[in-house]
């Protein structure tokens, strides 16, 4: 499917000029990471303390070494994904400290929840990726939970996954675990794509840069993402958000390319609107959709893969608000030609919570997106001209050979929708979509079987984790 372009060539060029102005006049603050400042200075940037200003075109030139497309290899080669080009990769929710389900309501997430969501993502054909911090397992010390998370992705799933970014040493641990899982040597293969967020406005901090540096040095991919609540971390107007996003992303991607030219890097954008009453982030509104379409177009012009969107909502429940807002984010995500979609399933409450029922409902929508993206079938069978020719006006097509031949595959079959009659629906218990989803995630988890893993590799992973856990202090903050 061709991506939808909403903004003219001239409009996009204007926004690129604005980003250059921002990079040149205001610049980027590189907080507490002098080696990054030094790298930028050596590349030709103007340095004034922590502030780095870029001559027009410098960042763009540095980013030109980044690949337009890369393969993220999965433990199961059949599940490796292409990132970039015409492909869209759906990955689950990321980063929520809370979890929600209809039975227990909202509560802190645990490692058991984390593992459940890794299982649910593994089981769903339209989640191409296992994600990263699907939720925060807050029952495990912060200093150690990255080990359990990466291990969960590696042994409960065989889909591609994300590494830890909350400290340089956690990124290093992620790389080590990946090395063990992939046979001791990554051989420059990219097996992780990890999330690096800016401290918007116009700041990159030491934690994120350190993680990005470790991943880039190992030829692992990073998603360089300005994270912007419009009106707070950027101006309230969309064109301002877009230019600032481009400026911040250019600087971050340039850093990655300075560490290792050619290291895979994704241009990320996360932009939400804001409630005027409370200052809270809002989702599914028109402005972030306009930003998404426009930044996607800018990423295409830059020649790098693009990440944005997802199934975002401010709702606390898997209700109509959650679904409207998620769809109003996910449809533009697809139509804009987004290559990597974090938060594609499960997100609730502005990202503070991941929902079991929401996850099931969202994943169903991802299947619909995949069918839609395949486009119109104009084959002879699709045209069905002979079927119509052989037909008498007024006759139904239900029993015809063409209908029977196409019945199984003609329409996307929703996993969660109820399409039965009102009477049948009442007889089935008058369940709403969330209640049906509640049944589904339990059925799926009950039927889950882990993918095979080599015993020696599994043991080596556990040994590494045990050793690191013994070395690391217990810290919960």
Q: 384-403: which residues touch a copy of itself (CB under 8 A)? A: 384-385, 387-389, 391, 393-398, 400, 402-403
For a copy of itself, the closer CB: 70 or 204: 204
Contacting a copy of itself within 448-477 (CB under 8 A): none
Peptide bond preceding 201 in cis form (omega within 30 of 0): yes
Binding mask 73-112 for a copy of itself (x = CB under 8 A): -------------------------x-------x------
Looking at 89, 265, 322, 336, which residue binds a copy of itself (CB under 8 A)? 322
Q: How far is the CB of 6 from a copy of itself (least distance, A)?
A: 6
Nearest-5° Cα angle at 452, 471 to 174: 30
Stretch that binds a copy of itself, among 111-119, 146-154, 162-170, 272-280 (CB under 8 A): 272-280
Instruction: Characterize the bridge pairing of strands 193-197 and 221-225.
Output: parallel
Q: Give backbone dihedrals phi and psi of 85, rounded to 5 degrees, phi first.
A: 65, -140
Residue pair 325/313 in contact (Cβ under 8 Å)? The answer is yes
Task: Give the residue from 305, 298, 301, 275 showing the smallest Cα distance to 287.
Answer: 275
Contacting a copy of itself within 195-234 (CB under 8 A): 199, 201-203, 230-234
Nearest-5° Cα angle at 246, 245 to 248: 65
For a copy of itself, the closer CB: 148 or 357: 357
Stretch that binds a copy of itself, among 135-143, 145-153, 376-384, 467-475 (CB under 8 A): 376-384
| Strand ranges, E, within 284-365 | 306-307, 340-341, 347-348, 353-355
Task: Give the residue from 99, 129, 63, 186 showing the smallest Cα distance to 343.
Answer: 129
Q: How far is the CB of 374 from a copy of itself (least distance, A)?
A: 8
For a copy of itself, the closer CB: 86 or 417: 417
Task: Give the residue from 467, 359, 377, 421 showing the smallest Cα distance to 121.
Answer: 359
Looking at 66, 177, 323, 461, which residue binds a copy of itself (CB under 8 A)? 323
Q: How far is the CB of 187 from a copy of itself (least distance, A)?
A: 39
For a copy of itself, the closer CB: 151 or 255: 255
For a copy of itself, the closer CB: 161 or 283: 283
Quickly count: other Cβ atoms within 10 Å of residue 427's Cβ. Answer: 10
Q: How far is the CB of 438 from a copy of itself (least distance, A)?
A: 12
Contacting a copy of itself within 403-432 (CB under 8 A): 403, 406-408, 410-414, 416-422, 424-425, 430, 432
Looking at 45, 62, 178, 314, which residue binds a copy of itself (CB under 8 A)? 314
Contacting a copy of itself within 129-188 (CB under 8 A): none
Quickly count: other Cβ atoms within 10 Å of residue 335's Cβ. Answer: 21
d(CA 20, CA 57): 7
Residue pair 156/118 in contact (Cβ under 8 Å)? The answer is yes
For a copy of itself, the closer CB: 18 or 166: 18
Q: How far is the CB of 241 from a copy of itself (least distance, A)?
A: 8
Q: Give backbone dihedrals phi and psi of 155, rounded to 5 degrees, phi first.
A: -110, -20
Burial 261-272 (b: 16+ CB within 10 A, else e): eebbbbbbbbbb
Quickly count: other Cβ atoms within 10 Å of residue 365's Cβ. Answer: 23
Nearest-5° Cα angle at 251, 245 to 253: 95
Residue pair 281/229 in contact (Cβ under 8 Å)? The answer is yes
Stretch that binds a copy of itself, among 8-16, 33-41, 183-191, 438-446 (CB under 8 A): 8-16
Quickly count: other Cβ atoms within 10 Å of residue 358's Cβ. Answer: 30
For a copy of itself, the closer CB: 280 or 466: 280
Burial 67-101 (b: 16+ CB within 10 A, else e): beebbbbbbeeebbbbbbeeebbbbbbbbbebbbb
| Strand ranges, E, within 24-104 | 28-31, 46-48, 51-53, 69-72, 81-84, 89-90, 98-101
Q: How far is the CB of 420 from a copy of itself (least distance, A)?
A: 6
For a copy of itself, the closer CB: 150 or 233: 233
Stretch that binds a copy of itself, among 75-83, 161-169, 217-225, 324-332 (CB under 8 A): 324-332
Looking at 326, 333, 338, 339, which residue binds a copy of itself (CB under 8 A)? 326
Binding mask 231-250 for a copy of itself (x = CB under 8 A): xxxxxxxxxx-xxx------
Task: Work out whether 290 is an interface residue with a copy of itself (CB under 8 A).
Answer: yes
Contacting a copy of itself within 16-75 (CB under 8 A): 18, 21-22, 25-29, 31, 51
């Amino acid at each position: 499917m061709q991506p939808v372009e909403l903004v003219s060539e001239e409009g996009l060029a204007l926004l690129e000029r604005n980003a250059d102005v921002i990079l040149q006049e205001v610049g980027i603050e590189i907080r507490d990471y002098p080696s990054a400042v030094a790298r930028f200075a050596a590349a030709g940037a103007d340095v004034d303390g922590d502030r780095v200003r870029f001559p027009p075109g410098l960042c763009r030139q540095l980013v030109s070494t980044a690949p337009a497309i890369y393969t993220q290899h999965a433990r199961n080669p059949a599940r490796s994904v292409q990132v970039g080009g015409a492909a869209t990769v759906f990955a689950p929710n990321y980063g929520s400290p809370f979890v929600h389900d209809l039975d227990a309501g909202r509560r802190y997430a645990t490692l058991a929840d984390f593992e459940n969501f890794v299982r649910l993502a593994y089981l769903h054909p339209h989640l191409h990726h296992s994600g990263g911090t699907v939720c925060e397992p807050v029952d495990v010390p912060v200093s150690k939970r990255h080990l359990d998370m990466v291990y969960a992705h590696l042994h409960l799933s065989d889909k591609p996954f994300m590494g830890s970014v909350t400290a340089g040493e956690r990124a290093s641990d992620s790389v080590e675990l990946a090395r063990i899982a992939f046979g001791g040597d990554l051989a420059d293969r990219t097996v992780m794509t990890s999330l690096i967020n800016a401290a918007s406005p116009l700041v990159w901090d030491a934690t994120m840069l350190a993680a990005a540096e470790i991943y880039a040095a190992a030829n692992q991919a990073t998603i360089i993402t300005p994270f912007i609540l419009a009106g707070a971390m950027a101006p309230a107007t969309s064109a301002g958000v877009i230019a600032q996003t481009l400026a911040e992303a250019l600087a971050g991607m340039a850093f990655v390319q300075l560490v290792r030219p050619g290291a895979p890097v994704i241009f990320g954008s996360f932009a939400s609107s804001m409630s005027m009453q409370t200052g809270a982030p809002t989702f599914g509104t028109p402005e972030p959709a306009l930003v998404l379409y426009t930044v996607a177009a800018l990423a295409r012009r830059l020649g790098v893969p693009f990440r944005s969107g997802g199934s975002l909502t401010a709702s606390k429940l898997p209700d109509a608000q959650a679904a409207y807002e998620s769809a109003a984010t996910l449809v533009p995500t697809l139509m804009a030609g987004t290559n990597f979609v974090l938060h594609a399933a499960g997100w609730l409450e502005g990202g503070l919570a991941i929902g079991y029922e929401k996850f099931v409902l969202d994943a169903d929508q991802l299947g619909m997106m995949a069918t839609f993206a395949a486009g119109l079938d104009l084959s002879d069978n699709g045209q069905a001209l002979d079927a119509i020719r052989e037909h008498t006006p007024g006759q139904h097509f239900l029993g015809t050979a063409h209908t029977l031949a196409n019945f199984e595959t003609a329409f996307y079959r929703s996993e969660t929708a109820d399409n039965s009659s009102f009477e049948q629906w009442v007889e089935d218990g008058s369940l709403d979509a969330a209640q049906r989803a509640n049944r589904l995630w339990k059925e799926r988890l009950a039927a889950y079987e882990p993918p095979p893993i080599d015993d020696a590799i599994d043991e080596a992973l556990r040994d590494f984790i045990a050793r690191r856990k013994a070395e690391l202090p217990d810290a919960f903050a």
